[in-house]
Structures are given as C-alpha cells and as structure tokens.
C-alpha cells in the first residue's frame, strides 16, 4: 500500500512527493524501495503488487525499475484501505483464485528483516491451511497512545498464533498503561495475511456492497477497460478502513506476536526514536548542521549541495526541518500539531505547500 500522503512528515513529505518515496532514513533508498527489496527476498517480482494513487504511478515506475505496469494499481481517489484491499485482491484472484497474499504498508521500518520474513512464512502457511484472517502484532515496548492495540486469547495452546479477542483504537495513556501491564495486548502494525478465498468471504459478510462492485469488475482487470471501470467504482464506493470494516467484526481473526524492530515511522518523533543519537541525544540528518549547547533535538535538512548552514544554539527538544521553501521549527512534544499546521498553510498560502 503506497498511496498515503504522510502529512505528519511535513514539510519533507508533500502531496506531490510523499513520505514513501523519500529517503527519510538517509540510507540512499526510499521507504518504498526498502519495502520492495525486503519482499523480493521471499516473493517473485511478478507476485508483488503496488497500490497507489494514480498521481504516483510515475514515481513508482521511477523507483522500482523494471516493475510491470500491470502490477501498479492506480487508485483515482483515496478511499481508505478496504477499497485498496478489495481492488488488489480482486485483481490477484483473476490470476490465482487459490492464492495467499500479504498486505503491507510501503513506509514502515523493519530492522530485523529475516525475523519479519519468518513471521510472514508462518502466517502464510497458517492462512493457506485455515479460513483465517491473520495479522502481525508487535510486542509493545512502551504505553504508546499513537498505535491501535490488539488483545489476544492466551489459552489456545499455540504460542505462535493466537485468536484475536478485541481491537482498540488509539487509547488514552492510562488505558495504554493497563494494556502493557496485562501482557495480552499487541500493537496493530497494519500487516495482514489471508487467502483470497478467506478475504472474499469476509468482504461478502461485512462489506458486501463494496465487494460486489470490485467482483463485477473482474472481467476488466488486465484489460484496457480496467482504468475506466475502477474510476467508476471509486466514485461510488464508501471510504472505510479494512480494520474497522472487517478485522474488528470478523470472528476468524488471528494474530502472531512479533518483535522484528518495527516502527510505522508515522511522525518525526518516531524517526527520532529509532535514529542514532549523539552524546547530547540529538539526531541530525543532512549536511552543514551545527549544534551548540543543544539537547534532544531532531534536525532534518534537504540534501541539496551548497545548502545553507543550519545552526542550533542553546535549545532543547525541538524538531527542525529545513526544505528549499519551508522551515519548520516545532516543540517535539507538540508534534501532533504538524498535520494541522500543514493544512492551515495550504489554505493560507498555496496548494504547493501541501
């Protein structure tokens, strides 16, 4: 899934060039490229599909050299993840109606790639043998209020795979603390594994109207009619997440507790938390950054040669992001307001800043 705008990473992430296409980690490759390479270790290239906005199809082709155009699914309108899954699984079902697939975001960090792929193999084997909807849950390291939580049953005799009891959206800090103390809650990473048959059955039961539209489009997939057909469907289909539309309602959901160095990289602070820090707990990404008497700051500058020198002196706990046309300076503890700031600036100045 590569269609998001990544507005919490503004001003580096913009609507015309969002987070998944950026080298946000300073590794020389974008998050999308890292995700693609990770899955190439387990899947054939022809079995990897990218769902993105039609505006980003060109960017996907540029970054994933050699990918078949039929493997890039362009959504004409963002309609949340249920539509994304229905479109992709519908198209895959035309090739292999008995297939098993994994649905994953393109912009997450996974440090232990082999550990991740081991969990993927376990989940796919289970999904192939059982009519189950499987998700990977991350063992929480702290009571974070920015993640959804999955509670699992602990009495099924299988330490690797558990039946899901409840889903809880982003909780209060008090509730998050309770979840951590209980020991039977995991972070929801938004990574799903199921057979085509199982997800079709789930759509029929819980989102039948949406399923019917994508299923009726089956004959148009891989033809010249696909684009127009999908345009018509997206104009009509409802916007709903796969979590709320299916996972929270289905009674055949299972979770695999996992710990493979995962972060959703949803905010500048999440990037700060996983990055290497200097002796004063500062993180600097970019060139010509000078820090004096400064502690706990995240500084990210554009990589253009000949850029200005960025100097921080005697400040603490700031996020500083310098791009060619926007300078953001934000209290690290107020980072949740960045998305609202970006929206406000777009309205007051121009769409080009969004």
Residue 333 has pLDDT above 70, yes or no: yes
Q: Do residues 133 and 250 make contact, with C-beta atoms less than 8 angstroms apart?
A: yes
Residue 224 has pLDDT above 70, yes or no: yes
Write the secondary structure of 124-187 as one string of H (helix), E (strand) and C (coil): HHHHHHCCCEEEEEECCCCCCCCCCEEEECCCCCCCCCEEEEEEECCCCHHHHHHHHHHCCEEE
Q: Give 116's DSSP letter.
A: H
Residue 159 has pLDDT above 80, yes or no: no
Q: Do residues 272 and 300 make contact, with C-beta atoms less than 8 angstroms apart?
A: no
The predicted-structure confidence for 232-285, as pLDDT tens digits, reads as follows 999 999 999 999 999 999 999 999 999 999 998 888 988 998 899 999 999 998
pLDDT score for 8? 85
Pairwise pLDDT comparison (308 vs 299), residue with the higher score: 299
Tokens of 291: 């820090």
pLDDT score for 156? 62
Q: Give 49's DSSP letter.
A: -
Write the DSSP assignment of 14-48 as a string of letters: BTTB-GGGS-TTSSSS-HHHHHHHHHHTTS-GGG-
Q: How many residues does the chain have?
A: 354
The stretch 139-151 carries a mean pLDDT of: 86
pLDDT score for 100? 97
- Domain-wise residue ranges, the chain: 7-263, 274-353
The predicted-structure confidence for 16-65, as pLDDT tens digits, reads as follows 899 999 998 888 899 999 999 999 999 999 999 999 999 999 999 999 99
pLDDT score for 305? 55
Quick one: which of 107, 147, 76, 79 has its CA closest to 12? 107
Residue 253 CB neighbour total at 10 angstroms: 22
pLDDT score for 33? 97
Query: 94 in helix, strand or coil?
Result: helix
pLDDT score for 285? 87
Residue 158 has pLDDT above 80, yes or no: no
pLDDT score for 304? 62
Among the residue ranges 142-146, 219-223, 258-262, 283-287, the one predicted with the least confidence is 142-146
Residue 306 has pLDDT above 70, yes or no: no
Region for residue 28 given its phi and psi (left: phi exceeds 0; alpha: psi -120 to 50; beta: otherwise): left
The stretch 194-201 carries a mean pLDDT of: 97
Residue 6 CA to its chain's centroid (Å)? 9
Bridge-based pairing of strands 149-152 and 185-195 is antiparallel
The predicted-structure confidence for 91-143, as pLDDT tens digits, reads as follows 999 999 999 999 999 999 999 999 999 999 999 999 999 999 999 999 988 88
The predicted-structure confidence for 171-187, as pLDDT tens digits, reads as follows 788 888 888 887 788 99
Contact partners, residue 278, CB within 8 Å, separation at least 6: 284, 291
Topology, domain 7-263 = Spore Coat Polysaccharide Biosynthesis Protein SpsA; Chain A (3.90.550)
Q: What is the mean pLDDT of the chain?
A: 91
């Amino acid at each position: 899934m590569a269609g998001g705008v990544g507005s919490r990473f503004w001003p580096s992430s913009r609507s015309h060039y969002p987070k998944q296409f950026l080298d946000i980690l300073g590794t020389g490759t974008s998050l999308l490229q890292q995700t693609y390479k990770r899955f190439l270790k387990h899947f054939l290239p022809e079995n990897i599909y990218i769902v993105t906005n039609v505006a980003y199809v060109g960017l996907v082709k540029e970054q994933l050299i050699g990918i078949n155009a039929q493997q890039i699914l362009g959504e004409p309108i963002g309609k949340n993840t249920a539509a994304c899954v229905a479109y992709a699984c519908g198209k895959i079902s035309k090739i292999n109606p008995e297939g098993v697939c994994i649905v994953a975001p393109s912009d997450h960090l996974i440090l232990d790639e082999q550990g991740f792929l081991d969990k993927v193999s376990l989940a796919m084997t289970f999904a192939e043998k059982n009519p189950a909807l499987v998700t990977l849950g991350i063992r929480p390291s702290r009571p974070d209020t920015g993640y959804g939580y999955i509670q699992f049953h602990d009495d099924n005799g299988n330490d690797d795979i558990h039946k899901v009891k409840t889903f809880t959206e982003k909780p209060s800090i008090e509730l998050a603390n309770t979840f951590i103390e209980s020991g039977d809650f995991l972070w929801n990473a938004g990574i799903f594994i199921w057979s085509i048959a199982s997800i079709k059955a789930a759509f029929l039961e819980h989102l039948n109207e949406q399923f019917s539209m994508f299923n009726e489009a089956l004959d148009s997939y891989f033809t010249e009619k696909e684009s127009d057909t999908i345009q018509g469907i997206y104009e009509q289909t409802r916007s709903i997440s796969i979590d709320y539309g299916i996972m929270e309602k289905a009674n055949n959901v299972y979770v695999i507790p996992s710990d493979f160095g995962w972060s959703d990289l949803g905010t500048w602070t999440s990037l700060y938390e996983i990055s290497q820090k200097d002796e004063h707990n500062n993180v600097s990404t970019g060139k010509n950054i000078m820090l004096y008497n400064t502690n706990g700051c995240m500084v990210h500058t554009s990589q253009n040669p000949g850029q200005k020198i960025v100097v921080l002196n005697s400040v603490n706990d700031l996020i500083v992001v310098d791009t060619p046309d926007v300078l953001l300076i934000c209290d690290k503890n107020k980072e949740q307001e960045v998305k609202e700031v970006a929206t406000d600036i777009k309205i007051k100045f121009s769409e080009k800043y969004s």
